[in-house]
Amino acid sequence: MGRGYGKAQIGTLVKRMRQGDVRALSRLISLLEQEGEEVSFLMETIAPYLGQAYSIGITGPPGAGKSTLVDKLTTHIRRLERTVGILAIDPTSPFSGGALLGDRIRMQQHYLDPGVFIRSMATKGDVGGLPRVAKDALKLLDAAGKDYVLIETVGVGQTELDIMETTDTTVVVFVPEGGDAIQTMKAGLMEIADIFVVNKADREGADRMVTEIQALVDMHHPHSWWRPPVLATQADRDIGVVELFTAIEDHRKALCKAGEFEARRQARRKKELIELVERHLRTLLLHHLQREGALGELVTRVERGEISPHRAADQILHDTQLIQHWFQEKV
């Protein structure tokens, strides 16, 4: 198994995690982040315990107050005596600023609460890796018995939106200043948003923004069984947070009633299978292209510009023997 974790150890860690051991959960998430070959066994081990947690994605531009919303939602859910897991995803984009650390500090009150587990993850500019690790971490929190899992991310790129697709309810947060954002809001966002929030609603332009988003929702209405509500909140003053949680619960009920809850989860599992096979094929490919021999020579000719990458790709993909050979070897 390598890197220090054998199957027996993973089994023990999962057992301890299931009994509420926070350190075991932390260690297993770290194991995910290493992206080693144990991940597959770990996911297999927790498979029987999945599907109980309800996952909520909170996304929006930097400075929209997402962390404060997550903080207040957590306080509310804890009052209902439910447990919470929080995954805070730092942005891939080098341009998306914001006082991330400052926001996180506000969450400190929850660090002492055993009913709340908080973990931050950085993207490291890795397109493929983060969504995979975040999705698997969501599953660990589910298997660990958390009633709700909140995923917070600056939705600046496809990577982050991809994570949002894995949550049961997705909340998209705006602030009145970001008026331009609404104008250029793409259909992609309308499709992932189950609930819209205009936070910092005491600021100028908030009412107009709510109206504008509502108009967009009316125009778009992607589902017959759910019309995304547009809520005004002031998270730092705890205004509108209970209403947001109620909207999340309403969405959950609507999902179940429409038969969408299970349909979405099925689509997600299939997507995950495709992603896993793709990642493996990619690893195989990179491994083999480093090789000596005919393939290495082809790569050198491409580098020198003697043959176009398109023609070389065609040659590689039509060499059935080569491909067959790849898969017979272990990487």
For 149, list phi and psi in degrees, rounded to 5.
-120, 125
Report whether 182 contacts 120 (CB < 8 A): no
Q: Binder to a second copy among 12, 30, 40, 52 (CB under 8 A)?
A: 40
Helix (H) or strand (E) holding 116, with range, is strand 116-121
Nearer to a second copy, 254 or 316 (CB): 316
3 sits near a second copy (criterion: CB under 8 A):
no
Looking at residues 191 to 250 of the shown chain, list those that interact with a second copy (rule: CB under 8 A): none
In 3D space, the residue among 263, 264, 273, 266 whose CA is nearest the CA of residue 43 turns out to be: 273
- Least distance to a second copy, CB of residue 71, Å: 20
83 sits near a second copy (criterion: CB under 8 A):
no
- Least distance to a second copy, CB of residue 254, Å: 22
304 sits near a second copy (criterion: CB under 8 A):
yes
Looking at residues 114 to 143 of the shown chain, list those that interact with a second copy (rule: CB under 8 A): 125, 127
Q: Which one of the spans 203-211, 225-233, 253-261, 265-273 is the region binding a second copy (CB under 8 A)?
A: 265-273
Q: Which one of the spans 17-25, 194-202, 219-227, 282-290 is the region binding a second copy (CB under 8 A)?
A: 282-290
Q: Report which DSSP code applies to 239.
A: B
Q: Binder to a second copy among 2, 3, 184, 218 (CB under 8 A)?
A: 184
Q: Binder to a second copy among 155, 228, 229, 240 (CB under 8 A)?
A: 155
Q: Binder to a second copy among 95, 112, 204, 219 (CB under 8 A)?
A: 95
- Least distance to a second copy, CB of residue 242, Å: 27
- Per-residue tokens: 198: 């205009």
Nearer to a second copy, 20 or 309 (CB): 309
- Per-residue tokens: 294: 């005919």
Instruction: Write b or e for each residue in 155-187: b if 16 or more Cβ atoms lie within 10 A of its Cβ, otherwise e.
Output: bbeebbbbbbbbbbbbbbbbbbbbeeebeebee
292 sits near a second copy (criterion: CB under 8 A):
no
Q: Binder to a second copy among 67, 83, 159, 234 (CB under 8 A)?
A: 159
* Helix residue spans in the chain (DSSP H): 7-18, 22-34, 38-46, 66-79, 100-106, 108-111, 129-143, 158-164, 179-183, 187-192, 206-220, 241-257, 260-289, 293-303, 309-318, 320-328
Q: Binder to a second copy among 242, 277, 287, 297 (CB under 8 A)?
A: 277
309 sits near a second copy (criterion: CB under 8 A):
yes
Rg, C-alpha atoms of the chain:
22
Nearer to a second copy, 100 or 254 (CB): 100
In degrees to the nearest 10, what's the CA dihedral of 231, 234, 239, 242?
50
Rounded CA separation 132/280 (Å): 13
26 CB-near residues (< 8 Å, 6+ apart): 119
20 sits near a second copy (criterion: CB under 8 A):
no
- Least distance to a second copy, CB of residue 169, Å: 18
